[in-house]
Structure 1
Amino acid sequence: MQDTLYDLPDAPFPIRQIRIDADALPLAMARNVAAGAAQGEVLVFLDMDCIPTPELVADYAGFAATFDGLLMGEVMYLPGGATAGDWSYPGFAAVAERHSDRRGPPAEGLEVCADYRCFWSLNFAMRRETFLRVGGFDERYVGYGGEDTDFGKTLDQANVTIAWIKGGLAYHQYHPHHMPPVHHIDSVVRNAQLFEAKWGYRTMGHWLHAFRLMGLIDDTPGRPIRILREAHDGDRALTGQQSHQPYANTARVLRELEAAAARAPEAVAA
């Protein structure tokens, strides 16, 4: 997925780096390849922009010993500059924030999620045997968006339980981002339509709703989604993560767009 391999550090355990020869961000394929190459009984998936706490693997292993389902660990967001210089985990804990619009962990132990749409691949684990039994991620999802909800739906159909845990903490590193992801509109639209063809309805509805309010798409039900225009600087300014924010937030953008849409009839009447 990249031209240059990383210089791997020395560690008391083996580290393998596997290159995927594919274009357009093949996240689903990459996860499946990693799972197929793994030799342990429990798989832990963590996005590359996250730093695991020293207890993350042990936390997951402890829950996976008695729970045959998908486990989602905690995520905290670091502000800009938090990883500069000599950082420490206590330092991270002092400045990190929890996402205001994402479900937090239970107070203790494990809590089952009854809605498959809660699955988020940023930080999760499950038994390798179970991952392979359900077939892994659908590799037809290429680019950004949709593969998580599809995998959650697949687990739901296979009666594999999804749960949050207290523990398995990772820190998400700051980097500029856009939510909703206007910079990935092509793949979001394509993958939403793939999901609809497979399951009978569209996913990523909150992003599509935002794109529609921004005038980027026509997503009239019953016909293919049409991209009306590409995102411009104003769209990127609206959706972009600000330097003082540890994370980008679709809910904030939607509130602004819906408020503007509600004011529009008043402006026309005036």
Structure 2
Amino acid sequence: MTVSICTLAHGRSTHLANLVTGLSQSDVLPDELVIAVMQDNAYDLPGAPFPVRQRILGSGAIPLARARNTAAREAKGELLIFLDVDCIPHPACVPDYIAASRSHGGVFMGEVGYLPKGSTDAGVDFALFESVAVRHSERPGPPARGLRACEDYRCFWSLNFAMSADLFRASGGFDEAFDGYGGEDTDFGRTLSSQHVPLSWVKGAKAYHQYHPHFMPPVHHLNSILANAATFARKWGHPTMQHWLRAFVLMGLVERTEKGWRKLRDPGESEFALTRQQADQPYASSALVLAALEAQALTT
């Protein structure tokens, strides 16, 4: 079985270099790495024992759906493994996905371990990563072994997943009507559900998420989230990203009208301070921020 790793990148050159270095230590090497580059210039990357191909999409936007489709379309492998630019695959990630795809059909989601700040300062050290990485508290844990069916397709997460190239093409890929950040994963999961494609959690197939400052809920993507929420509602007849939108309402950034969500103002420093991931946190948490906002609302 031939394997293509598909990723997309905008900035974060050190993260991408670490992905390449980690992937080079895989127990089973992929046949290629395909990178959809969402900027004008290609990356200067470390050498790798497999071909690395960069497809330049240009700057000016972060079209996540189009970038994933581009990487998948350019890929030549029978199995596509999608990893975000800030992921470092465990040496067993590729063979774990190969084993899953040989025994089951559908879409597979592997484990993710979040690394604290500074974990990659000395380079790629899998023993260190395994000792310090933590699971995201808002994501389901992996099965004890093998695979476990994911019954809630809203849990689909493009950070670390795999599926056959044939199935990706048959699904239609990511809907490029979702432009920028927000909603494209939930839409793809909804599409898989409508097509009765099995979705499974995998024990193993692990990737380590490299630390980077982040905002959650993602107030820095307010405009694209509002636009993509409207796209999702028109397409499926029901809303999505409601926990983020609820937080934006409580912050006074948006309001809900009969015609959908309406922006009231841009976020300011107080909203960025509230949602900013702190240096001592390996990941940002929407649930904690929303709980704080709900508690504050009860007292006002």
The answer to whether structure 1 residue 88 and structure 2 residue 125 are counterparts is yes
Residue number among 256, 263, 270 corresponding to 2:299 in the alignment: 263
The answer to whether structure 1 residue 42 and structure 2 residue 93 are counterparts is no
- Structure with the greater alpha carbon radius of gyration: 1
Residue number among 141, 154, 169 corresponding to 1:132 in the alignment: 169
Give the superposition deviation at 1:86: 4.1
> How many angstroms apart in 2 are the aligned matches of 1:240 and 1:144?
17
- The percentage of aligned residue pairs carrying the same residue is 56
Match of 1:232 in 2: 268
The answer to whether structure 1 residue 101 and structure 2 residue 133 are counterparts is no
Q: CA 1:68 to 1:22, structure 2 compared with 1: closer, same or farther past 3 Å?
A: farther
Match of 1:267 in 2: none
Match of 1:249 in 2: 285
Q: Is the CA contact (8 Å cut-off) linking 2:40 and 2:58 kept in structure 1?
A: no
Match of 2:204 in 1: 167
Give the superposition deviation at 1:21: 3.4
> How many angstroms apart in 2 are the aligned matches of 1:208 and 1:126?
31
Give the superposition deviation at 1:87: 4.1
Q: Is the CA contact (8 Å cut-off) linking 1:43 and 1:126 kept in structure 2?
A: yes
DSSP 3-state at the match of 1:163: strand
> TM-score when scaled to structure 2?
0.86
Give the superposition deviation at 1:101: 1.4
DSSP 3-state at the match of 1:6: coil
1:219-255 superposed Cα distances (whole Å, 9 cap, x missing partner): 23x3131100111111111100001000000000011
DSSP 3-state at the match of 1:197: helix
1:166-217 superposed Cα distances (whole Å, 9 cap, x missing partner): 0110000111000000000000000000000100011101100100111110
For structure 2, the 5+ residue unaligned runs are 1-37
Residue number among 195, 216, 226 corresponding to 1:179 in the alignment: 216
Q: Is the CA contact (8 Å cut-off) linking 1:210 and 1:254 kept in structure 2?
A: yes
Match of 1:33 in 2: 70
Match of 2:33 in 1: none
> How many angstroms apart in 2 are the aligned matches of 1:118 and 1:102?
8
> How many angstroms apart in 2 are the aligned matches of 1:100 and 1:91?
21
Q: Is the CA contact (8 Å cut-off) linking 2:40 and 2:59 kept in structure 1?
A: no
Match of 1:268 in 2: none
> How many angstroms apart in 2 are the aligned matches of 1:179 and 1:17?
30
1:33-79 superposed Cα distances (whole Å, 9 cap, x missing partner): 11111111110000001111111111101101122211000001011
Indicate the structure whose relative CO is greater, using CA pairs within 8 Å and at least 6 residues apart. 1
Match of 2:28 in 1: none
Match of 1:209 in 2: 246
Equivalent position amino acid for 2:237 in 1:
G
Superposition pairs for residues 136-155 of structure 1, below 5 Å?
136-155=173-192
Q: Is the CA contact (8 Å cut-off) linking 1:208 and 1:219 kept in structure 2?
A: no
Match of 2:57 in 1: 20
Q: Is the CA contact (8 Å cut-off) linking 2:39 and 2:60 kept in structure 1?
A: no
DSSP 3-state at the match of 2:56: coil
For structure 1, the 5+ residue unaligned runs are 265-270
> How many angstroms apart in 2 are the aligned matches of 1:241 and 1:173?
13
Q: How many residues align?
A: 263
Q: Is the CA contact (8 Å cut-off) linking 1:68 and 1:130 kept in structure 2?
A: no
Equivalent position amino acid for 2:220 in 1:
H
1:76-135 superposed Cα distances (whole Å, 9 cap, x missing partner): 101111100244100111111111111111111100011110101000000110010010
Q: Is the CA contact (8 Å cut-off) linking 2:39 and 2:59 kept in structure 1?
A: no
Larger strand proportion, structure 1 or 2? 2
Equivalent position amino acid for 2:77 in 1:
G
Give the superposition deviation at 1:15: 1.3
Match of 2:46 in 1: 9
> How many angstroms apart in 2 are the aligned matches of 1:91 and 1:4?
33
> How many angstroms apart in 2 are the aligned matches of 1:162 and 1:83?
31
The answer to whether structure 1 residue 111 and structure 2 residue 145 are counterparts is no
> How many angstroms apart in 2 are the aligned matches of 1:2 and 1:21?
4
Q: Is the CA contact (8 Å cut-off) linking 1:73 and 1:166 kept in structure 2?
A: yes
DSSP 3-state at the match of 2:52: coil
Q: Is the CA contact (8 Å cut-off) linking 2:252 and 2:264 kept in structure 1?
A: yes
